[in-house]
Amino acid sequence: MTCRRYSVSILLASSLIALSGCGVLSSWTQSTPAPISGSKKVGAGRTAAAFGSAATAADGKAHDVVLFALGLIETGYRFGGKNPEAGLDCSGMVNYVFDKAADRRLGGSAADLARQGKPVSVEQLRPGDLVFFNTNKRSYSHVGIYIGDARFIHAPNSRGKVRAESLANGWFAAHFEEARTYFD
């Protein structure tokens, strides 16, 4: 039953991407150009258009990472969780997705993941890159997978399930720390 749920989720995610054209969830920038505020690194007054374009980077393994992550939406959260059957935490989700979709074993916590990637500016963000946040006054304490159009997928906390969020959201904009890429 679990395997069927993920197959249906991946099929649904693939259909949504196909229907949206080249960009993942591209209507967000057209209908809601909200300014990003609260983070010096992101920059006050930037809109979603300031983020990298989904149309220029959704290729190869990075594209597979995005599709696989979309298929995990609604998966339950579990601190320390490393697979969808048991539940996922933020770094467990990222490690699982990169292992299964890109055949890359990153390993470790959000902070460990940050040390492994190459920093990219907000303007250079591409789908499949990782976005890091400072939560509870701890650097690189939360991570998500960028999917394009200022949106990312993450496993938030014990009160939630894997879901997509906007980097322009006040809380995430205020706690955004850095983006890193794992694809050359």
Q: Which residues are catalytic?
A: 90, 142, 154
Token pair recorded at residue 157:
């906390």
Asked whether the beta carbons of 120 and 180 are under 8 A apart, the reply is yes
CA torsion, ordered 157, 161, 167, 171, to nearest 10 deg: -40
Token pair recorded at residue 25:
């969830």
What is the distance between the alpha carbons of residues 10 and 33, in angstroms, rounded to a whole number?
A: 28
